Amino acid sequence: MSAEVEIDLYDAVQTLRLARPQKKNALTGAMYSALAEALETGENDEAVGARLIVGAPGAFCAGNDIKDFVAMAASGGGLGEPIIRFLHALARAQKPIVAAVDGLAIGVGTTMLLHCDYVLASPHSTFRTPFLDLGLVPEAGSSLLAPQRMGPARAFELLCLGAPFDAEQAVAAGIVNHIVAADALEATAHEAAREIAAKPREALAIARRLIRGDPEEIVARIDKEAVAFAERLASPEAQAAFAAFLHR
Ligand code: COA
């Protein structure tokens, strides 16, 4: 378990807290493994009725750690098991997931939200997926989920242009349910997750599945994107973009 992901359980809500604020909650392999482990464990724990993903003040998640991208490209091993395990766990989750976003949500910090059921964000939050500017392609099933959610025009803006969406644009695009003041965000999200966890569990699982469709279709898209992503990681375009970030 990574020390940079904190897990706790209170009022039937399993909280997954990203806790690497000094790096704006950029995700490492160890953090992906810890998140996947928590999601998988929560699925099988009767005491868990819903999950809540939270970040740090001002930084929900700055995406994948770019140093890890460089290491992945050097190893030729693609995205690696921890990332794929986390993404599959998100797609296959049967228990609802709430997220509370304060500040930056970049890359997978935004695309993971497309797997969540209820997302609250503070007014100064920003959602951005700079995949193409990094020489990369969309991941986490976002090439399927984003156009479904917001239509192809806005999905292109988000996923290909890397345009920043502010909190209001994220609500309009269907990424975020409601905007909540930063100082009330986590408590409000926890209360929402507690209320969701208190619903009849079987009925909720069935309703959720009807709303979200077949998880295996999403898993198949995650895997297809991962093949393209792995190829792009080693591309000169991506290598140049990573070097530019790391040598700023
Ligand atoms: N990977 C690795 N390190 C990251 C990171 C990432 N994705 N995002 C932030 N960090 C690190 C920075 O390198 C910096 O480390 P340092 O203090 O050792 O130099 C620290 O986090 C703080 O980031 P900084 O850039 O100083 O903060 P900022 O407020 O000026 O900018 C961001 C924050 C998130 C806008 C900027 O760091 C950024 O663009 N990060 C990359 C985001 C990205 O492209 N993610 C991948 C998407 S696929």
In this prediction the pTM is 0.98
- Check residue 131 and give its pLDDT: 97
For residue range 104-113, what is the model confidence (pLDDT) as tens digits?
999 999 999 9
- Check residue 232 and give its pLDDT: 96
- Check residue 120 and give its pLDDT: 99
Using a pLDDT cut of 70, give the percent of the chain over it: 100
- Check residue 30 and give its pLDDT: 97
Q: What is the 3-state secondary structure (H, E, C) of the chain?
A: CCCCEEEEEECCEEEEEECCHHHCCCECHHHHHHHHHHHHHHHCCCCCCEEEEECECCEEECCECHHHHHHHHHHCCCCCHHHHHHHHHHHHCCCCEEEEECCEEECHHHHHHHHCCEEEECCCCEEECCCHHHCCCCCCCHHHHHHHHHHHHHHHHHHCCCCCEEHHHHHHCCCCCEECCHHHHHHHHHHHHHHHHCCCHHHHHHHHHHHHCCHHHHHHHHHHHHHHHHHHHCCHHHHHHHHHHHCC
Give the model's confidence band at 1: pLDDT under 50 very low, under 70 low, under 90 confident, else very high: low
Domains and CATH numbers, the chain: 5-197 (3.90.226.10)
Q: Is 104 in the pocket of ligand 1 (CB under 6 A)?
A: yes
Minimum CA distance residue for ligand 1 atom 36: 62
Minimum CA distance residue for ligand 1 atom 26: 23
- Check residue 165 and give its pLDDT: 98
What is the distance in A from the centroid of ligand 1 to the CA of 131? 14
What is the distance in A from the centroid of ligand 1 to the CA of 209? 35
Candidate of 18, 23, 24 to mutate for ligand 1, largest count of ligand atoms within 8 Å of Cβ: 24
- Check residue 94 and give its pLDDT: 96
Minimum CA distance residue for ligand 1 atom 18: 23
For residue range 51-101, what is the model confidence (pLDDT) as tens digits?
999 999 999 999 999 999 999 999 988 899 999 999 999 999 999 999 999
Q: Is 65 in the pocket of ligand 1 (CB under 6 A)?
A: yes
Minimum CA distance residue for ligand 1 atom 39: 62
For residue range 154-183, what is the model confidence (pLDDT) as tens digits?
999 999 999 999 999 999 999 999 999 999
What is the distance in A from the centroid of ligand 1 to the CA of 25? 9
Query: Per mean pLDDT, which range of 23-32, 77-86, 195-204 is the poorest?
Result: 77-86
Minimum CA distance residue for ligand 1 atom 46: 63
- Check residue 77 and give its pLDDT: 81
Mean pLDDT within 209-220: 97
Minimum CA distance residue for ligand 1 atom 33: 24
